[in-house]
Amino acid sequence: MTGITALGLPEARRNEAAAIFRARGVPHRRVEDWKYSDLRSALGEAGVGAGQAELHTLHLPAGIETFDLAGTNPPDWVREYFGQADRNTMSAASLSLAAGGTAFRVPKGLVIAEPLKFEFAGAGHVRGLLVLEDGASLTLVEGVTVERFRNAGLEIVLGENARLEHVRVSPNAGEAVMVEEVSVRIAQRGQYRAHFAAFGSKLSRMEVEVALEGEGAEAHLSGVALLDGKRHSDVTTHVIHRTGNTHSTQLFKHVAGGNARAVYQGKVTVARGANGSDSNQSAKALLLGENAEADLKPELEIFADDVKCAHGAAVGDLDAESLFYLQARGIPEAEARGLLLQAFLEDAVAQILNTDQRELVRTELLTALKAIA
């Protein structure tokens, strides 16, 4: 079978990725980055399997060029950008094992109002590539179908002044083990906004690495997690300020009840000479029971002098005084708790600029809150 790895990717690159994955193996809890998300034990003997997963395009706005990564004769832009990201173990796994995927290109200057919608589907490994050329603008709505195991790798390249808003809602996926790695490169004054809403599964991990490569580049990451039962959700971010005068913000709000576990690991690196960089990182979690767990790990790595970096993390439970206030006004306890949880999550949800998507996330949260509060 001629997979994408033989075609969309030069043989040498595929071998490199395969070697990386072979050397590291499936990550487990003794690997620092995977301490709170033991992929090896979640997968058990079944392991990572082969690459059978696919990318399904649900809505393709006019003007976007696509390329089936399993096809032959990739265009120049695919040759140039595809398969660059493999420093991440699981991304290396999908690069070497995936047999399906799609690449998208939004041409220079094209501003698209309606969202591009796609979802990764099926079990196994899959890749995606999204290139926004200079001045292009797009909203990406990423859906998630539930499978026993899937490992998806998505590369995003934003040209000068390009703008992308990426919204991903991953539903309550029960026993599924799902990992995804997103790698983003941003040129001068390009802007990447992302919101990840997660309802968890047996093991569910969203890992995003953003490189702010050009002056004035911006990344704004936000997300919510609402977990109950034995569900798990991990969002791991790494924002790298490679150049000066770059700006990043992160706002994550997690709620965990039952025996659930919500993980946030966020690293911000400011490279040598990236003066004038500005980064703000905030992660908060609410625990609804004694057996729920939240792990918040913000990290800063600064090699430049003149930077502004703030980070904060806090784990708490619902404020008893607020709860009493609402009850004393006649709002029944369960509803009052729901209202306070909704309020807790709201500022992260409010980061979504696309109105339809913002409302959709709110609605999903409300439905889930009724069950959890």
Nearest residue to 129 (alpha-carbon basis) of 77, 166, 175, 195:
77
Nearest residue to 343 (alpha-carbon basis) of 331, 354, 355:
331
Please say whether the beta carbons of 348 and 253 come within 8 A: yes
Amino acid identity, residue 9? L
Token pair of 338 as six digits: 């729901």
Nearest residue to 187 (alpha-carbon basis) of 211, 155, 167, 168:
211
Question: What does DSSP assign to residue 272?
Answer: T
Minimum Å distance from CB 346 to another protein? 4
* Secondary structure of residue 148 in the 3-state scheme: coil
Q: Kind and range of the H or E element at 298?
A: strand 293-302
84 vs 327, which CB is nearer to another protein?
Answer: 327
- In degrees and rounded to multiples of 5, residue 362 shows phi and psi of -55, -45
113 vs 320, which CB is nearer to another protein?
Answer: 320
Question: What does DSSP assign to residue 72?
Answer: S
Nearest residue to 231 (alpha-carbon basis) of 313, 314, 288, 152:
288
Query: Residues, the chain, total?
Result: 373
- Chain residues that interact with another protein, rule: CB under 8 A: 319-322, 324-333, 335-336, 339-340, 342-347
58 vs 343, which CB is nearer to another protein?
Answer: 343
Minimum Å distance from CB 90 to another protein? 35
211 vs 341, which CB is nearer to another protein?
Answer: 341
Tokens 């439905």 found at? 367
How far is Cα 102 from Cα 111, in angstroms, rounded to an integer?
21
Minimum Å distance from CB 225 to another protein? 16
Minimum Å distance from CB 326 to another protein? 7
36 vs 252, which CB is nearer to another protein?
Answer: 252
303 vs 324, which CB is nearer to another protein?
Answer: 324
Using CA of residue 262, residue 168, residue 95, residue 130, what is the dihedral sign?
negative
Could you tell me which residues are beta bridge partners of residue 220?
Answer: 193, 249
Tokens 């206030």 found at? 325
- In degrees and rounded to multiples of 5, residue 150 shows phi and psi of -145, 145
Which residues 6+ apart lie within 8 Å of 229 measured at CB? 258, 259, 260
44 vs 330, which CB is nearer to another protein?
Answer: 330
32 vs 321, which CB is nearer to another protein?
Answer: 321
Q: Between 333-349 and 320-328, two packed helices, what is the crossing angle to 10 degrees?
A: 120
Minimum Å distance from CB 324 to another protein? 5
182 vs 348, which CB is nearer to another protein?
Answer: 348
Minimum Å distance from CB 345 to another protein? 8
Minimum Å distance from CB 234 to another protein? 25
Minimum Å distance from CB 312 to another protein? 15
Minimum Å distance from CB 337 to another protein? 12
